[in-house]
Structure 1
Amino acid sequence: MTESLPLSRRTVVTALGAAGFVTLPAWPETASAADGPASAADGPVLDTHPATEPSGTHVREVGGTHVVFQYGAVLPAFDGWRTREPTREYLSLDRKWRFRFDPGRHGLGEGWQSPDLDDRAWDLIDVPSAWDLLDTPGFGSETTPFGQGTAFADGYAWYRTVVDVPGSWRARHVRLAFLAAGYSAEVWLDGVHLGKHEGANSPFALPVAGALRPGTRQTIAVRVFRRASYTDYTAPAPQPVTDDHEIPYKPVDYWPYAGLTRSVWIEAVPRVTIAKLLVAGANGRLEVRAVIENHGASDFDGRLTLDPGRDSGARPTVVEARIAARSAGVVRVSVPVPRAPRWSPASPHTVTARATLTAGKPSGPRVDTLSTVYGVRELTVGDARLRLNDKPLFLKGLNWHEETAARGRAMTPAEYDRELGHITALGGNFIRNCVYNRHPYVYDWADEHGVLVMDDIDTMWLNTAQEKLQTERYGLARAQALTMAWNQHNHPSVILWGLQNESEIDAGGAPVYRAWLADLKAAVKAVDLTARPVTWASNTSNDPAFDLADVIGFNEYFGYFYGEDSDLGPTLDAVHAKYPGKPILITENGTWSLAGNHGPDTTEGTEEWQAARFTAHWAQVVDRSEFVAGFTYWVLKDYKQRAGYNQAYNGISVMGLLTFGEERPKLVYEAFRKAAGPGAG
């Protein structure tokens, strides 16, 4: 067996707070904007990059708890998209914004970030939305010519809106929150550059203290960038456009939707505020870490009251909360919750906990509140089994992409309900969020419906050079791992952290690959109080880092891309023999069919062939359920991509159980629904 790397949480912890709090990290009140694109004038447009990823994401130990910081502040809870805490004020920016493409890259030089700019001639665009759907007729059709419309508008585009800032916000800590901006975004308030974010699918919040003028009307400007996938989308042999710093760094087989694709809002909180609640419910006990920021000039001496919630069987608990000026601290609460029901797919019971911060005595004035939903459940790995509440799990799962033909990645709640409703209709109990974080609605839905989740980040198809760059210098992959574990921490449905998808292992590159995965594993383990297992979707069953995984995950396409269907069983046996104590998860398997194309199940591309291939693989997995934890089909629905890879028609890959535009079931849909797990019948 390959020698294991030391996996110390200290490898990703950059500062210590032995006194129970740390000074808030130094961060400029106004950041410096990028000078301009790094590419040559006659070449493909590439964005500029600082020495390290631009949000300054890192983790610090604060009173024994590892806390994630971004932009000089604690990475806050993003419940403001749906929850309104009584101590906070919210200003939704989900509306029509002024919008303009910037193909000539003139915006910065011409002052498009300035509040004095006359933008009345600009177009209007909905936020949230993807600019891909702004003007691309036939986006969801398999027969529309490829390469036309705003779906192929790349480079820079600008968004602008105005807000009336309440005068009462003078005594508040104010942040501008984005649930997503693809691929990267730079943000200005009245011409003051607040910062830049990179990564299309992770939320971020920018403090605005250096630019805020309460009681006035101010202008928000956002410059969004998307790298072209190819120099010419209609060329017979299109040339890919790559950037070693970006993740993914090259074209991949899912659509890189662009723009402000999820909700945006401004949140004004007290200067002493509960930034985040980390909760872990297991074995009849609730462990809570309340991460508190003090943005004021005076030390805070007060109390934190933790209400474990109805049905928990516990009364509110009061503890001291002392936070030095301009510092972050952690208040720890541990309470028995003897009557809290366990969460499971069969009984997805959740409880709402609420923390209330008061000044002075418990009866003193209320300063801030924050609530979170949690579930009590025990997740363990051992003896080649993945167990929930001491019962072995078998995962009947689906990969899925977050998109519809009508809205792209800016889906509505009704669309989420319709798409995700197929999971339960199919008898599934598991989804893999390939290969990026989803809208918070998805995790809430999974908690409520008892569907288990493997969460993923954007680390797809990296090679050795990018793995080395990310680990040793740029740190964007680590930032995505940290924020994934931090943001989704409290969701009982999330049972696996996925670290990467099908990244390459060049000749002699195994040490770099292992060091990269060890770094990502250490990041999520540092943050997660519940020690969820880590896995990844390897492109090989002979991965040189499988000893680092808690659950072995790999994608397999026997009988399609290589080998025979019957090769799967012996391959699973060989992996089990090498790692007898680790459960195995098939993270992808599937084939394709053109809807309506019928014929023998031996003829590639028929609906019958697609269904038969699934059934053959499913049977071999179920026969080995004593060490195979489950099977994840690729994919719920046909999906869009730019790569033209693997049976794509107008960029639509037809590997789904459902068609893309009409969402019509194929034969494999019914085959999957009827597929019985171990012990059935």
Structure 2
Amino acid sequence: MRPVPRRVVLQAAALTPVVGLTSGVAHASPLHGGARSGLLGAALAVAAGSATEPPPHGEREPADTTLREIDGTSVVFQYGAVVPDFGGWRRQEPTRSYRMLDGVWRFRFDPEGTGEDEGWQRPDHDDADWDSISVPSAWDLKDTPGFGDYDGSRFGEGTAFVDGYAWYRTTVQVPGQWAARYVRLVFLAVNYRADVWVNGHYVGAHEGGYAPFALPVKDALRPGRKNVVAVRVHRLASWEDYTDPESPAVSDPYAIPWKPVDYWPYAGITRSVWLEAVPTVTVAKLLLAAGDGRLQARVVVENHRDDDFHGRVVLDAGEGSGASPVSRPIRVPGHGVAVVRFDVDIPKASPWSPERPALLTATATLLTGAGHGGHAVDVLRDRYGMRTVAIRDAKLLVNGEPAFLKGLNWHEESAAHGRSMTRSEYDHELGHVLAMNANAVRNTVYTRHPYAYDWADEHGVYVMDDLDNMWINTAQEKLHTEQYGLSRALALAMAWNNHNHPSVVVWCIQNESEIDGDGAPIYRAWLADMKAAIKAVDLTDRPVTWASHTSWDPAFDLADIVGFNEYFGYFYGKNEDLGPTLDAVHETYPDKPIMITENGSWSFFGHHGPEDEVGTEEWQAANFRAHWVQVAERTDYVAGYFFWVLKDYKTRAGYNQQYNGISEMGTLAFDSRTKRLVYDAIRDATL
């Protein structure tokens, strides 16, 4: 994922409307009279005020993510509570109540960062003159015409270049019965930092633009009355001046990523939001791992009452499993957590595989009383697949058989909706993976909307899940390992939240980060910290890898799979150098499989010519074939190859401004429709 070094001076830029996955309908928000000039005025002030000043940071990342051992199970906590199941966006349990907050919110930029001092979080604040915005959406697309165009003549204009603080406000009425329940406010994603108030009470903050989070809000909520939710979002500017090629980059040593990187950091409340009222004793999480005819389940029960709870948990492995429901007693201390473990035969379950992606639904029911009878207190369901993953003799084994991941890197974005894609956009875009006869995607450098994992589960596509750790430097690695803890928090969130998806077969924990000298002690400690966190959570023991920028990474002994990005014949060396490099790595790590986590090159649409002419579609396709054949000759120890990249993508890395910040390395144009020759080359590539 390395940019073509072609940064140029231009004046202006572009973007468009907004939408949430829940509706699939775009809600373009026309600006009222006078608002347009105000927004663009804020855009012109990107080098001032809150845009170039990082938000305040504490000693640790604000969610205070921790791992606790409870009844023999590692449980992830944030904000002092178990990180819950986030399935409310697609499924609503009968024992719970929900208020979806997707829709039109009040919205205002805060370029000087004075909103809190002026009381914008207070319920009585008059927001009548504020603008409106759809949630979920990216504010980048609020008023930036031509965002998806390749014409860079206006690069630098519009709300796509407004950074710093922006505020969101909405009102919601909740039933009076919620006074007897535990209530959380759930965000599937906010980029980058969110500070949240309910009825003027500060309820918490979150950093990291792609991980869901749930804030406890019972003490701030007013059941039976109108409630005001206010969210202040901060995105740091990437550059002091987006149109000056010599402009200094803006950075925040605590943030991940901490500086401009090779994608577009869409800002705002980019995924769904809801309030969820659960019983005061609740099934917080259901961990599932199935393979070889057996299901392991861990039912995490949380008690928000003062007194102990005595009851039982019933696990139903689901229709098609061949298992009968199993009951276990449970005692949960007041304001405590307990975990009930199940190990159940599922003799009729079919294995999950790309050829037959069989899925089942498990249900955990919490009941009162120790014996038969009693009433249901809470219910939680989730899907799973029977699938094993293992490493043996330099091979990746899925269900005991060698698997090769023919994959594509991809960025989650569309020209119309940024990172707030619709179902139809996901279906169309990911459909190209199957059309190219590929069987895998890499969720490059951030976790995706839950729908993307569901899609992969249902279509039999392998997933290499990935973290936000891109281009991290040594000082940051040390900071996050020894103090701030955001890298570890993101790793725990990824493994915990996406645990039950059978499509996820590999965890990836960083991309092209800095390696210190003298044995790389800082780099190794950082990687080991994240790997240990993931391994503690993952019942299926999926392999851990990372996308190193070098084939001689001194920490590869820590990896389950050796993963590195390579651009032979493009940025360095010759195409033919790949094979000998793979052989040398295999000789050093003979028991580990190798994956090419990135390889690709660029071409101009419609530019045709000889295969040795740089920039032609023929050259790009020939480069792919030259690398593929060397990989295909080594499948006894090479377990995967991921092409860079599925489609062209927007970037703030500081190059390609003449193309409106669009990197032209995709098999498809930014519209996900127009194909380059390399698309067919990948489709036709076989082992």
- Looking at structure 2, the residues matched to 570 and 334 of structure 1 have their Cα atoms a distance apart, in angstroms, of 46
1:191 shift after superposition: 0.5
Give the TM-score taking structure 1 as reference length.
0.93
C-alpha deviations, 1:366-400, integer Å up to 9, x for none? 10000010111111101010011111011110000
Q: Could you tell me how far apart the structure 2 residues matched to 1:437 and 1:455 are?
A: 7
User: What residue in structure 2 maps to residue 89 of structure 1?
Assistant: 97
Q: 2:284 aligns with which of 262, 275, 294?
A: 275
| 1:630-669 matched pairs, under 5 angstroms | 630-645=640-655, 649-661=659-671, 663-669=673-679
Instruction: Provide the residue aligned with 1:300 in structure 2.
Output: 309
**For residues 105 and 216 of structure 1, what CA distance do their matches in structure 2 show?**
30
Q: Partner residue of 2:79? A: 71
Q: For the residues of structure 2 that align with 1:660 and 1:547, how far apart are their CA atoms?
A: 38
Q: Does 1:284 align with 2:293?
A: yes
Higher relative contact order (CA 8 A, sep 6+): 2
CA-to-aligned-CA distance 1:269-307 (integer Å, 9 cap, x gap)? 000000000011011111110000000121111111100
**Displacement after TM superposition at 1:661 (Å):** 3.0
- Tell me the distance in 2 between the aligned counterparts of 1:136 and 1:40: 20
What do the CA deviations read for 1:144-193 (whole angstroms, capped 9, x no partner)?
32111100000000000001021010110000000000011000000000
Aligned to 2:172: 163
**Which amino acid counterpart does residue 429 of structure 1 have in structure 2?**
N
Instruction: Give unpaired runs (5+ residues) of structure 1.
Output: 1-38
Q: How does 1:440-519 map to 2 (within 5 A)?
A: 440-508=450-518, 510-519=520-529
Q: Does the alignment pair 1:101 with 2:109?
A: yes
Question: Aligned partners of 2:564 and 2:273: how far apart in 1?
Answer: 36
Matched residue, 2:227? 218
Structure 2 matches for 1:551-562, cutoff 5 A?
551-562=561-572
1-side partners of 2:110 and 2:673: how far apart? 35
* 1:79 to 1:41, Cα distance in 2 relative to 1, 3 A: closer
Contact 1:395 1:630 (C-alpha < 8 Å) held by counterparts: yes
Equivalent pairs: percent with the same residue? 62
* 2:51–2:235 contact (8 Å) kept in structure 1: no
Q: Which one of the candidate residues 62, 65, 85 is aligned to 1:57?
A: 65
Aligned match of 1:414 in 411, 419, 424? 424
Q: How far is the alpha carbon of 1:50 from its aligned partner?
A: 0.6
The whole-number CA distance in structure 2 between the counterparts of 1:667 and 1:179 is: 37
Aligned counterparts of 1:634 and 1:434: Cα–Cα separation in 2: 10
Residues 432-443 of structure 1: pairs in structure 2 closer than 5 A: 432-443=442-453
Q: Deviations over 1:543-582 (max 9, x none)?
A: 0000000000000000000000000000000000000000
Q: Which moved more, 1:130-139 or 1:653-662?
A: 653-662
- Residue 116 to residue 395, structure 1, CA distance change in 2 (3 Å): same
Residues 322-380 of structure 1, C-alpha deviations (whole Å, 9 max, x = no match): 10111111011111111111011111001000011111134111100000101111111
Q: 1:662, 1:42 → 2: CA distance?
A: 35
Q: Which runs of 5+ in 2 are unaligned?
A: 1-46
- Cα-to-partner distance string for 1:42-75 (whole Å, 9 max, x where unaligned): 9922111011000010100001000000011000
Tell me how far 1:213 sits from its aligned partner.
1.4
Distance 1:508 1:655 in 2: 36
Which residue does the alignment assign to 1:151?
160
What CA distance in whole angstroms lies between the structure 2 residues aligned with 1:509 and 1:213? 56
Shift of 1:425: 0.8
Contact 2:193/2:208, CA 8 A, preserved across alignment: yes
| Aligned partner of residue 121 in structure 2, secondary structure | coil
Q: 1:648 to 1:671 in 2, by over 3 A?
A: farther
Do the aligned partners of 2:473 and 2:513 also contact (CA within 8 Å) in 1? yes
Matches within 5 A, 1:549-628: 549-628=559-638
* Match of residue 80 from structure 1: 88
Pairing 1:329–2:329 present: no
- 1:87 alignment partner AA: T
Q: Bigger shift: 353-362 or 529-538? A: 353-362
Matched, 1:349 2:333: no
Q: CA RMSD in A?
A: 1.2
Structure 1 residues 453 and 233 mapped into 2: Cα distance closer, same or farther (>3 Å)?
A: same
* Alignment match of 1:245 (pick from 254, 257, 273): 254
Name the residue aligned to 2:387.
377
Matched residues in 1 for 2:367 and 2:401: separation?
A: 42
1:180/1:201 contact within 8 Å kept? yes
How far apart in 2 are the matches of 1:663 and 1:240? 33
CA contact (8 A) 2:138 2:417 kept: yes
Deviations 1:170-229 (A, max 9, x none): 110000000000011000000000000000000000000221111110100000000000
| Corresponding letter in the other structure for 1:197 | H
Q: Is 2:440–2:463's contact at 8 Å kept on the other side of the alignment?
A: yes
Mean Cα deviation higher: 184-193 or 594-603: 594-603
Counterpart code for 2:313: L
Measure, in 1, the Cα distance between the counterparts of 2:648 and 2:110: 32
Describe the shift of the 1:382–1:646 C-alpha distance in structure 2 as closer, same or farther (beyond 3 A): farther
Q: Provide the rounded CA distance (Å) in 2 between the counterparts of 1:548 and 1:662.
A: 37
Match of 2:28 in 1: none
User: Deviation above 4 Å: which 4+ runs of structure 1?
Assistant: 39-43
Q: CA deviation at 1:647?
A: 8.5
User: Does the 8 Å contact 1:647/1:654 carry over to 2?
Assistant: no
Q: Does 1:399 align with 2:401?
A: no
Name the CA distance, whole Å, in 2 between partners of 1:568 and 1:161.
55
CA gap 1:206/1:640 in 2 versus in 1, 3 angstroms:
same
Look up the equivalent residue of 2:112 and give its one-letter code: G
Partners of 1:647 and 1:653 within 8 A in 2: no
Aligned residue in 2 for 1:12: none
Give the 3 Å change call, closer, same or farther, for CA 43–528 of structure 1 in structure 2: closer
Paired AA for residue 408 in structure 2: L
Are the counterparts in 2 of residues 592 and 647 from structure 1 also a CA contact under 8 Å?
A: no
1:645 CA displacement: 3.5
SS at match of 1:125: strand
Seen in structure 2, the aligned counterparts of structure 1 residues 407 and 40 have a Cα distance that, compared at 3 Å, is closer
Secondary structure (helix, strand or coil) at the match of 1:474 reads coil
1:140 alignment partner in structure 2: 148
Separation of aligned partners in 1, 2:155 and 2:619: 27
Question: Does the aligned pair in 2 maintain the 1:538–1:554 contact within 8 Å?
Answer: yes
Quote the Cα distance in structure 1 between the aligned partners of 2:224 and 2:451: 33
- The answer to whether the 8 A contact 2:190-2:268 is kept is yes
Structure 2: how far apart are the matches of 1:229 and 1:431? Answer: 28
Where 1:522 maps in the other structure, the secondary structure is helix
Describe how 1:103-118 pairs up with structure 2 within 5 A: 103-118=111-126
Q: Distance in 1 between matches of 2:54 and 2:251?
A: 8
Contact 2:595-2:640 within 8 A present in 1 as well = yes
Q: TM-score if structure 2 supplies the norm length? A: 0.92
Equivalent residue for 1:309, pick from 315, 318, 339: 318
Deviations 1:444-481 (A, max 9, x none): 11100000000001000011111000100000000000
* Amino acid across the alignment from 1:271: T
Counterpart Cα distance in 2 of 1:670 and 1:199: 36
Provide the rounded CA distance (Å) in 2 between the counterparts of 1:164 and 1:394. Answer: 51
Once the two structures are superposed, residues 608-647 of structure 1 have per-residue CA deviations (whole angstroms, 9 ceiling, x without a partner) of 1110000100000000000000110000000000113478
- Please state whether the residue corresponding to 1:107 is helix, strand or coil: coil
Distance 1:543 1:448 in 2: 36
> How far apart, in 1, do the equivalents of 2:208 and 2:99 lie?
24
